[in-house]
Amino acid sequence: MLHLENSQAAFDEAKKLMPGGVNSPVRSFANVDSNPPFIARAKGSKIYDIDGNEYIDYVGSWGPMVAGHAHPNVVKALQAAAERGTSYGAPTLLESELAKLVMEVYPTIEEIRMVNSGTEATMSALRLARGFTGRDKIVKFIGCYHGHSDSLLVSAGSGLATFGVPSSPGVTKGTAADTIAVPYNDFEVIERVMKEHGQEIACIIVEPVAGNMGCVLPKQGYLDHLRRLTKEAGALLIFDEVMCGFRASLGGAQAAYGVKPDLTCLGKIIGGGLPVAAYGGRRDIMEQVAPKGPVYQAGTLSGNPLAMTAGLETLKIITADPEPGEPDSSRVLTLKVKKLLLGWQEGARKAGVPIQAHQAGSMFGIFFNEHEVWDFDDSSASDQKAFAVWFKAMLEQGIYLAPSQFETLFMSLAHTEEDIDRTIEASRKAFAKVREMRG
């Protein structure tokens, strides 16, 4: 039996201080009818709560901990950076170093601007697309989450989908009117929208691998379809790779699927766990950003030296050349996920519990659904009660997963074969609990 007395007391206190007791909705565990463990520390593939419980962690701070928690290279570099000062509000060589490393992996990014969050990156990319094209309307996909700026909180996923709220109070009708939300993976609907409104549309923004309605992959040819439609309409194509960047493959979804966007939003990993994101793309578009161009965007802490340091060290780890005869880091991560999901599928099959298992490189997730999952409606039709039972059974056995079927899981280089075997064994017992629940 998992003991969480200290975490429960901490949560009770936090609820008096913060809305729902948390600083981000999905942390509340409300969707799985539970309370969150409060984390004290992390190392490698493990996290530890204030009650002394150890967990194998597949959340990884929602993606950035690809090298594992508290990697010694990252920690050492951060300690040295902190001694030089935590923030300058002035240019540093670190910003250019990180920019060059990102651009080596993402050749579609010819110029880049560092920001502090994924929300800031997508919001800025949209403003730039509107400024560049002189158009107002944007297209997004139902279930894709691009941060909490007003124009993107229309038929969003992730935390909003989890709590059954299709949009947020406080978003004006005028803002919503400029956002066209369409189903993900539907070829006909997006083609019809672009034919009817193409000359008014500044851009299509998409998670090329969706990560906020669960891990949902694009259908074959769908991203190419978006690329063709935007070119025909003179609109921009924005890939929000805040989650799938360096995850779907080393070069993200755009490398995995061979589609070149005009602008790319990155986050999570390029900060190595510190608050960093970026947007970048074609030079002629990016040169419209202030101070060179008229599209204004600024941030006092953008390019913070600690964040740049953590990002640099993390990217150096995952882009390092492998030893002769050894697979690169992206391949290592992919193989780990494949082994884990095969184990989960076998356990579900033996328990008579139908699931759908999805993988994009080192991103992955499952749905308690006997049908294929291609969009937000499919994801929403999955059995949330079964997921809650499975989640709690896994947590009891020391496996830390995202507390919502609408979220994505992540593998790290620190996860060992023993970790994966333990997780597979735990899943068998958890799937049996689901079978018992269903009678």
CB atoms within 10 A of CB 103: 15
Which of 58, 145, 222, 400 is labelled catalytic? Answer: 145
- Tell me if residue 240 is catalytic: yes
The two three-digit tokens of residue 249, written as one number: 């493959």
Which of 46, 137, 268, 433 is labelled catalytic? Answer: 268
- Tell me if residue 268 is catalytic: yes
Report DSSP letters for 309-344, one per residue.
HHHHHHHHHHHSPPPTTSPPHHHHHHHHHHHHHHHH
Q: In angstroms, rounded to a whole number, what is the distance separating the alpha carbons of residues 141 and 193?
A: 12
Which of 49, 240, 262, 375 is labelled catalytic? Answer: 240
Q: In angstroms, rounded to a whole number, what is the distance separating the alpha carbons of residues 24 and 267?
A: 17
* C-alpha pair distances (Å), 91 with each of 114, 124, 303, 305: 12, 20, 8, 9
Q: Which residue in the block uniquely carries the two structure tokens 């018992």? A: 436
What is the chain's Cα-based Rg? 21
Q: How many residues does the chain have?
A: 439
Q: How many CA within 13 A on the CB side of residue 25?
A: 15
Q: Helix, strand or coil for residue 132?
A: helix
**Catalytic annotation, residues:** 145, 240, 268
